[in-house]
Structure 1
Amino acid sequence: MIVGPYINSIAIVVGGVAGSLLSPWIPRRLHEGMPLMFGICSMAMAVILIMETVNMPVMVLAGILGALSGELISLEKKINTVATKTIVESILPKPRGEITNEEFLKIFVALIILFGASGTGIVGAMNEGMNGDSSVLITKAFMDFFCAILFATRLGYSVVILFVPQLVIQLILAYSAVLLLPLTTEVMRSDFYAVGGLVMLATGLRICGIKLFPVASMLPALLWAMPLSYLWVHFSN
């Protein structure tokens, strides 16, 4: 039974509501300190997944080809455009108060990617679909809960709507992974998790503000992981 995406969604909704209600009492300095911890947690999870790798050349090659593919089609730019046009500008109310419309759009689109299309969410959803382990998504739910609280203090109840793209994307990935499972091997799955760890590591570095990796453009690496793992096993010996 798939439960991780629903737990993640509940965390975003509850965090968004709580942040909106508690905004007068939440100090602004938390916006600087807490994301650093979120980033460190993401990087720690990434290290654990990278250690799953069986074929290191597969992990490296998938990462390079994935980033190359994403950049050639400008994937991150297209996701930003679609998110802005279909969700932010057409559905959400205009921001009020001290935050400008441009800043609101920038933060909200970034949160759509962070909650719905991050390496953590994609790997976690496929991990649960393939082996029933929801631990990655549950861990992500804890981080998203506090992240939703922080950003709801600035964006208000608009943060709550972020559970929609997050839930849809994770459910599609989880149930797709269930169908994909019979076609994979344990080695292929391990190499996939390792490549996912690379994307999660980039996500953590971006959250911490150390380096603004184009994480969305790195997501095609996950598509390369299993085919390359299969080819490596069958043709390298």
Structure 2
Amino acid sequence: MVLITYNNSKEVGFIHPSVFVNTLTVVAGSTIGILIGKSIPDRFRSILFQAVGLTTVGIGVKMTLSTSSFIVVLLALASGALVGELVKLEDKIASIGRFSKDPKKFSAGFVAASTLFLVGPMTIIGSIQAGLINDGTLIYVKSTLDFISSIVLASLYGLGVLFSALAVFVVQGSLVLFASKLGFLTESAYLSNLTGVGGLIVVAIGIRLLELKDVKTGNLLPALAFSPLFDYLARVFKL
């Protein structure tokens, strides 16, 4: 089943304006959040972490329930985690924020924001629509949501959220530019399991926010690349 079809469409060949708008909304929201965060007393910051953590877990669970094959999700998450741990991806992300006061906090903020902003149907379908039929409607809607989310996240995590704007630009820009090659991602099987994998990573982010366990969420990110691969193999071998 295909969620959307493109009739008489053609590859645009340039980054759609909606990608720039989304990037700028994350920058603007993060800047506001960083400025606000400095004035929040620690006791309020703590309860805010809990509120955001619980909400994040809820979002992640909802995303995970869209999964069509938990076997694919498990294989993708396990493979991605092994690769992430092997290359120490989370440590590498933290090294980018070595100029900040707390590199670990920078890494957590970058991963949390990037995952929330880039995983899900709005990003995939919106970017491919923008690339194939020059329609940035979904991305513009998503920009508004990301603006609000970036304010909250940046007030808690700081600079890591601001730097996630770069990930938004690179990932969404790439999806737009290569839309004609990535249209298969809008098929329900690929999209649901990719969203499911992302959902579990989001749950892990929530667990980290709630300080239940310090999950290395950065090391889980390669799972997003493994999900379409295992979906394809499942189709080929009719599993």
Please classify the TM superposition score into its range, dividing by the shorter chain length.
0.7 to 0.9
Which residue, 112, 116, 119 being the options, matches 1:120? 116
Q: 1:201 matched to which residue of 2?
A: 203
**Which amino acid in structure 2 is aligned with residue 120 of structure 1?**
L
1:111: which partner in 2? 109
Q: Which of 216, 219, 224 does residue 217 from structure 1 map onto?
A: 219
Report the CA distance shift for 1:216/1:127 in structure 2 as closer, same or farther (over 3 A): farther
| Amino acid across the alignment from 1:111 | G
Superposed structure 1 runs of 4+ greater than 6 Å apart: none
Distance (Å, rounded) in 2 between the aligned partners of 1:67 and 1:15: 28
Task: Work out whether residues 2 and 174 of structure 1, in 8 Å CA contact, stay in contact via their aligned partners in 2.
Answer: no
Identity %: 21
**Cα RMSD after superposing both structures:** 3.2
Show CA shifts across 1:50-90 (max 9, x none). 11111221111111111111111111112222x13xxx53x
- The separation in 2 between residues aligned to 1:7 and 1:224, in whole angstroms, is 26
Say if 1:4 and 1:128, in contact at 8 Å, map to a contact too.
no
Aligned partner of 1:126: which letter?
I
Asked if the contact 1:126–1:177 (Cα under 8 Å) also holds between the matched residues in 2, the reply is no
Task: State the Cα deviation string for residues 121-169 of structure 1 (Å, max 9, x = none).
Answer: 23143353246745666544323212324556xxxxx689536424434
Normalised to the residue count of structure 1, the TM-score between the two structures is 0.73
Matches within 5 A, 1:87-98: 89=99
Identify if the C-alpha distance between structure 1 residues 150 and 235 changes in structure 2 by more than 3 Å, giving closer, same or farther.
closer
> Does structure 1 residue 32 correspond to structure 2 residue 46?
yes
Call closer, same or farther: CA 1:121–1:183 in 2, change over 3 Å: same
C-alpha distance in 2, partners of 1:22/1:201? 24
Residue 133 (structure 2) aligns with: none
Q: Counterparts of 1:38 and 1:217 in 2: how far apart (Å)?
A: 22
- Specify whether residues 200 and 161 from structure 1 end up closer, same or farther in structure 2 by C-alpha distance, changes over 3 A only: closer
Distance 2:66 2:89 in 1: 27
Is contact 1:120-1:137 (8 Å) kept?
Answer: no
Q: Is residue 55 of structure 2 the alignment partner of residue 41 of structure 1?
A: yes
Alpha-carbon distance between aligned partners in 2 of 1:141 and 1:173, rounded to the nearest angstrom: 21
> In the alignment, is the contact (CA less than 8 A) between 1:67 and 1:218 conserved in 2?
yes
- Matched to 2:152, the amino acid is F
Aligned residues: 213
| Amino acid of the structure 2 residue aligned with 1:123 | V
Deviation at 1:179, TM superposition (A): 3.9
| Equivalent-residue separation in structure 2 for 1:48 and 1:137 (angstroms) | 21
The residue type paired with residue 226 of structure 1 is P
CA displacement at 1:218 relative to structure 2: 0.3
Contact 1:9 1:163 in 2 (8 A): no
Letter in 2 for 1:10: T
Q: How much does 1:10 deviate?
A: 2.2
Match of 2:31 in 1: 16
Runs of at least 5 residues in structure 1 that lack an aligned partner in the other structure = 90-100, 153-157
Is this contact kept in 1: 2:72–2:230, CA < 8 A?
Answer: yes
Aligned residue identity for 2:230: L
CA distance 1:233–1:41, shift in 2 (3 Å):
same
**3-state SS of paired residue (2:212):** coil
Residue equivalent to 1:155? none
Partner of 2:8: none
Question: 1:46, CA displacement in angstroms?
Answer: 1.3
